[in-house]
Amino acid sequence: MTGAEALREAVARLRAAGVEEPARDARILLAHALEVDRGRLTLVLPEELPAGARARLEAAIAARAARQPVAQITGRRAFFERNFKITRQVLDPRPETEVLVRACLDLPFESLLDLGTGSGCILLSLLAERPRARGLGVDVSEAALGVARENARALGLEDRAHFLPSDWFEAVEGRFELIVSNPPYVSAAEMQALAPEVRAWEPAGALTPGGDGLAAYRAIIPRAPAHLRPGGWLAVEIGAGQGGPVSALFRQAGFEDVRTLPDLDGRDRVVMGRLPGNR
């Protein structure tokens, strides 16, 4: 069987399984099985598929047909122009989260706290763009922290990125110039409408706090001023329809310059605000 024949068969299997973009996913998984860059895949398609690659492709296609996310199968996800290790213990980074990273890069900071760091993609992306900055990532999941530490080492950031098990601020000491978070915000009612790739395969605790989806913001925002330096910023990712209530929580906590930023689809995606005072 050639690579081209294997690709056609893989696309058909994924389409039959209801996968949304079967051709794209099949190409990614074939390149993964062949251990070649996706840009070279077309060049090797006419060649006979080696036995090892065929076995790897079979396993990958079976996993994808069961709706396991591609990033979990390959173990990698591109985010903000860098590659991050991804496992079932962390959220698969979304392109929408890059809006949060870009917004933070418009702010002055050299000290950074990332609440619920997961894979570390937000913290590490920010540190990679700010060579003088140092940061702390916290998470209640030790498994997630292990993934974040691996990503820090792979990106050469282990000297500036530190990680700590903590339930939000519980184990955090000191003050920072910037606090960021992409907390769980999916409501209990919305969970059932999520795609199988998300609902069945990603950590539920990183997706939803239950109820109306706002519990994490109620835990983070009122306590953030005690961990910010004067003039420091808090920035959080939000879900659909949460801009109003989350902005209100910012103002109730005493934040100024509260603003809501949209993603590329025009949906509210980030709320951020500044603690009064001068840096």
In the predicted structure, residue 277 carries a pLDDT above the cut 90: no
Comparing CA positions, the residue from 33, 18, 15 lying closest to residue 75 is: 33
The β-bridge partners of 161 are: 135
H runs (alpha helix) in 155-195: 188-191
| pLDDT, tens digit, 9 for 90 and up, residues 89-124 | 999 999 999 999 999 999 999 999 999 999 999 999
Residues ≥6 apart with Cβ < 8 Å to 143? 87, 89, 90
Instruction: Using DSSP bridges, classify how beta strands 111-115 and 176-181 pair: parallel, antiparallel or unpaired.
Output: parallel
Contact by Cβ (8 Å): 90, 118: yes
CATH architecture of 80-274: 3-Layer(aba) Sandwich (3.40)
Beta bridge partners of 274: 233, 256
Phi-psi region of 120 (alpha: psi -120 to 50; beta: other; left: phi over 0): left
Percent of the chain with pLDDT over 90: 97
pLDDT for 11-30, tens place per residue?
Answer: 999 999 999 999 999 999 99
Residue 149, pLDDT score:
98
Q: Which residue has the tokens 């900071």?
A: 109
Q: What is the pLDDT of residues 35-50, one digit of tens each?
A: 999 889 999 999 999 9
Asked if 168 contacts 223 with a C-beta cutoff of 8 angstroms, the reply is yes
Has residue 173 got a pLDDT over 80?
yes
Q: What local confidence, expressed as pLDDT, does residue 278 receive? A: 79
pLDDT digits (tens, 9 = 90+) for 147-162: 999 999 999 999 999 9
| Helix, strand, or coil (residue 77) | strand
Q: What is the pLDDT of residue 279?
A: 66
pLDDT, the chain, mean = 96
CA angle 118, 120, 121 (to 5 degrees): 110
Which pLDDT score is estimated for 53?
Answer: 96
Q: Where are the domains of the chain?
A: 3-66, 80-274
Burial of 205 (0-12, 13-18, 19+ CB in 10 A): middle
